[in-house]
Amino acid sequence: MKRRQLFTLAAATAGFAALPGIAQAREGIDTGLDSDGAGDLAYLEGAFERHRGGCNGRTPDAVLGEMREDLALLAAVLRRPHPARDRTDRARTAAGISGLVAIVRHDRGDQADAHLWFATAARAVRESGDRRMTAWVLGRHAMVGLNYGAPGQAARIAAQARRAAGARPSGAAALAAAVNARALAAVGDLPGARRAVDDVRTPAEQLDGPESADTWFGYPAQKHHVHLSQAYTLLGDTRAAYRARDDALALTSSPSVMPRALIAMDTAACLRVDGDPGAAATMAGAVHDRLPPAHRSGLVHSRAQILHRHLDGAPRRLLGDALARGVRGAAARVEDALTAGPSVSTRHVFN
């Protein structure tokens, strides 16, 4: 327990990038997939269930710090000899845990590492033959390109996810359709995006139990409305986007820092579409400034940058200044972490 607390504290003070062994853990998982070794996966299956619950107000660095020991265990388990009949379960668990790491790396803005972890998850899931897990891994992988300026790539991967999911309603199928809708809208395929939006409604309404759970593996109503909010914004239907935003906010709990910030960024994007770039820049800048320091990079920062590229004149300068303040603050935090001793971080809540 003390070791786990130490890793979590280190992540909170120095940033996850400073923790050793993460890249080696992914390499170990890849190596293990080459062998016939395995072991008892009961603990790791439980670990996957625990970790997939999401950040719940914690920073991405803290989440990854808590996962570090389980990643090392997974790599060790994959190197052990095991009966061939256990190979499917082993590969499925490896795919799930690797996918969770990829999600957090995506949220932090570590695009290259996110792609690497998703590639490892995809390799594992191919071995498992689990179509639902395959659709989940691909749908989540598509979000890297979607959120970091490669919507064409996102649309292709999301289309693969939809094919893997098949016609049966599932959280993975709904996620794939929602991401596909956003990506198609971003590349200008408005008819295709509208069809994907229509397609996601039916499976989303039919989900229950674990498929609709508020986890990284489920597709809850809150997540559904967040996806619709951006899809409608990209389609230029701001009235529908505002409705989806309000529905998402009503279902978002207060510790959910990043979802609230992203919903606010979508509102700023709607303001620009509606012809008020000044209000859009003011709102996005205020959201960025009010974010806890650990959340002023990665996904929220990328969304603000996308809006910044669509502005000009005074609104562009205003938002650019806010983004620059965030970069300076991040640099100062890195310097402080390198020179200061361990300290307990304060938990912030974005309201």
Question: Tens of pLDDT along 21-40?
Answer: 677 787 777 766 655 444 44
What's the mean per-residue pLDDT of the chain? 79
What gap in Å lies between CA 332 and CA 13, rounded to an integer? 13
Residue 4 has pLDDT above 70, yes or no: no
What gap in Å lies between CA 198 and CA 200, rounded to an integer? 6
**Selected residue with higher pLDDT from 39 and 270:** 270
What gap in Å lies between CA 134 and CA 121, rounded to an integer? 9
pTM: 0.76
According to the model, what pLDDT value does residue 18 have?
47
According to the model, what pLDDT value does residue 348 have?
26
Residue 121 has pLDDT above 70, yes or no: yes
Confidence bin at 203 (pLDDT 50/70/90): confident
Helix axes 313-339, 299-309, angle to 10 degrees: 150
- pLDDT over 90 for what percent of the chain? 42
Confidence bin at 155 (pLDDT 50/70/90): very high
Confidence bin at 320 (pLDDT 50/70/90): very high
Phi, psi of 173 (to 5 degrees): -65, -40
Q: What is the 3-state secondary structure (H, E, C) of the chain?
A: CHHHHHHHHHHHHHCHHHCCCHHHHHHHHHHHHCCCCCCCCHHHHHHHHHHCCCCCCCCHHHHHHHHHHHHHHHHHHHHCCCCHHHHHHHHHHHHHHHHHHHHHHHHHCCHHHHHHHHHHHHHHHHHHCCHHHHHHHHHHHHHHHHHCCCHHHHHHHHHHHHHHHCCCCCHHHHHHHHHHHHHHHHCCCHHHHHHHHHHHHHHHHHCCHHHHCCCCCCCCHHHHHHHHHHHHHHHCCHHHHHHHHHHHHHCCCCCCHHHHHHHHHHHHHHHHHCCCHHHHHHHHHHHHHHCCHHHCCCHHHHHHHHHHHCCCHHHHHHHHHHHHHHHHHHHHHHHHHHHCCCCCCCCCCCC
What letter represents residue 95's amino acid? Answer: A
